[in-house]
Every structure is written in structure tokens, then in C-alpha cells.
Amino acid sequence: MKQISTRFSMAVHILSLIAVNANEITGEYIAGSVNTNPVVIRRIMGLLKKAGLVDVRPGVGGAFLLRTPDRITLLDIYRAVNLLDDNRLFGIHEDSNIRCQVGRGIESVLQSELSEAQSAMERRLAQTTLSQLTAKFS
Amino acid sequence: MKQISTRFSMAVHILSLIAVNANEITGEYIAGSVNTNPVVIRRIMGLLKKAGLVDVRPGVGGAFLLRTPDRITLLDIYRAVNLLDDNRLFGIHEDSNIRCQVGRGIESVLQSELSEAQSAMERRLAQTTLSQLTAKFS
DNA sequence: CACCGATATAACCATTATAGTTACAACGGT
DNA sequence: ACCGTTGTAACTATAATGGTTATATCGGTG
């Protein structure tokens, strides 16, 4: 199966760098640390900006957080870069045959069960802040 | 972002049908209820067989569970059809620059945090059994 | 045995997400 | 005015997905 995109882990990496060195690092430097192309970094930065987590100084370069690192959770970052249809992690097949007893009921039952599972994951992500992460390698 | 494959929800649908009508339904009928091509059903059935959840009578047709529905959880089904590298739901970018303080530490820290989040989701999936599901539309 | 409906599997296809890349416009301080 | 930076568009290769056709095999029935 396909894993959740590495955009997420790269975004955490990016924000960690900014948290540690606000306004001192360029996209070029970040790309060097993440070990990828600068455009990939800028794309993710665009999502983080759209989510209101960071801002960037165009022209001159350098980025800074719009919230303190203890108020940015992994869930905030996850939501910023992983845009899902209707915010549903699990895909559910549609158009089940409504003339079948199982086909009729399966969608709504699964919908609620799977959204519970998704919530459990998200609650765990919400428990960890950026400052807790950076504390582990500073 | 890409959602988790509908293979999972289709697998739950399939097993629900088998739980309700053991040995009475063909792949053709299941395909009609799921509203897809029979080959798609057989592919998923193959995964479920490999996981030891069901068995099928070749030639004559019909499938049956190898465990009672109260001993099959959503996690069992999820694991049967969603094969992940090293069982990791979250992809993590590799080859971070080890000469950077953040790049050096990010991978292992993220690995443990994200596996916690994955576990939280899986624990929730493990709480629901096939019999609990079918009870809701029978 | 011959047939027929069923399962098993390979092969192919169109669609989509992803991550990387090149190219170019715009910004802003020196 | 220059130059390093950010912002985007466009293109690419790769891979997962879900569907489809085709073919082989199985097993009970006439």
C-alpha cells in the first residue's frame, strides 16, 4: 500500500529547522538538510504558510514561525500538508448495491467506525508539539 | 492526499457478506453487492485467504470464514489487505543531511512519534469486530 | 466423459499522487 | 542595477490503484 506522503515528515523537518534558527536559514539551506530540491521545500512552505504556521520574507529570504513551537502540534502540521477529501483518511467504496442488506448498511457503519480510528490517530498527533520534538535533538 | 485504499472497505464488505451467508454466495454475487468487477473481488479474496481469514471452495464456489466473526477485528482485515513497507503507515524522507543537527536527529524521533500515532489508530481498529459490524445491519 | 459455472491469475490499461527537475517571474536589500 | 532569494508553472518518471479481458483450472451434474 501507499504510505502517507513524506511531505509530512519533510514539513516537520522544515519547521524544526525554523524553530531552531528563526530568520536565519534559506530554502536552499533547508533543502540541504532535508536533502532534496529547493522547489520541493518551497512547495511545502507554501502549504505551511497557507495554514498560518509560518511566514517568509520574500526577496531577502528567511522564515519564521507564526506561533511559538509549543503551540504547534504534529496534527497542525499533518493537516497543513495532507489535504484529504472531506478530511477522511480512509477511502470507502461508493455505490454499493442498495438492494442488498449488507450493501445498504455498510457505508454509514464503516464511515463512523473508520472516522473513530482516524480520530484516535489524530489525537495522538495532537499530543506532540514542535518544541517537544526539537528538545530531543538540541 | 491519497486516501487509504478502498480495498480495505471492500474487504470489510466482502467478509460481512460471508459472515451473514456462509457458503451461499459467489464472487459474482459479492461483486454485485460491492458494485465492482468480480476480478477485483477475487484479488481481495486472495489476500484474505493468505491472511487466514477465509477459505474458498474452488470449482463449486462459496466462501466461509476461518474464525468466528467475533474473533475477526477491523485491524485483522486492515492488515490483511494493506501491505506496508515494514508496516509503517507514515512515509519518512530518508538521507537527511547528518551534518545538520536537525537532519541528524529527525528520522529516529519522527519514527517513534509516528509509530505511536499509527498504533493509536490500530488499537481503535482492533476494538471493533466483524460481528459488531454485521449486528448493525442485520 | 463432457459441460458449465465457479475460482485463480496474468496481463494490460487509464487515472492519479508523488517527488523531483527546469525555467522564469518577482521581490528587496546592498 | 545587481544578485540572491522566494513563488509558481510546467514537465517528467515512478508507482499505486481499480477496472478490464483473457485464459487456465477446479468440481459437481447430466
What is the band of A136 on the pLDDT scale with cuts at 50, 70, 90?
very high
Which of B17, B109, B121 comes nearest A137 by C-beta? B109
State how far the Cα of B34 lies from the Cα of A112, in Å rounded to an integer.
19
- Quote the longest CA-to-CA distance of chain A: 63
The residue-averaged pLDDT of A105-127 equals 98
Mean pLDDT of chain B: 96
* Grid cell of B120 as nine digits: 493509536
Residue A138 has pLDDT above 90, yes or no: no
Please give the distance of CA B117 from its chain centroid, rounded to a whole number: 18
Q: Which tens digit of pLDDT belongs to each residue from B113-136?
A: 999 999 999 999 999 999 999 999
Q: Which domains does chain A have, with CATH numbers?
A: 7-135 (1.10.10.10)
What pLDDT sits at residue A55?
97
For residue A51, pLDDT over 90 is answered with yes
| Closest residue on chain A to B95 (Cα) | A35
Question: According to the model, what pLDDT value does residue B108 have?
Answer: 97
Contact A35, B104 (CB under 8 A): no
Tell me how far apart the alpha carbons of residues A32 and A126 are, in angstroms, rounded to a whole number: 28
- Tell me the average pLDDT of chain A: 97
pLDDT tens track for A4-45: 999 999 999 999 999 999 899 999 999 999 999 999 999 999
Query: B92–A116: do the CB atoms touch at under 8 Å?
Result: no
Enumerate the β-bridge partners of residue B90.
A4
Residue nearest to nucleotide C29 (CA to C1'): A60
pLDDT at B74: 98
Cβ neighbours of B32 in A, within 8 Å: 97, 100
Instruction: Determine the distance from the C-alpha atom of residue B28 to the mean position of all C-alpha atoms in its chain, rounded to a whole number.
Output: 21
Q: What is the pLDDT of residues B63-105, one digit of tens each?
A: 999 999 999 999 999 999 999 989 999 999 999 999 999 999 9
Query: Which residues have a Cβ under 8 Å from the Cβ of A17 and sit 6 or more positions away?
Result: A25, A29, A30, A33, B100, B102
Closest CA to B44 of B10, B4, B16, B76: B10
A58 Cβ contacts chain D strand, under 7 Å: yes
Work out the average pLDDT over A100-107: 96
How does DSSP classify residue B55? E
In this prediction, residue B58 has a pLDDT band, given cuts at 50, 70 and 90, of confident
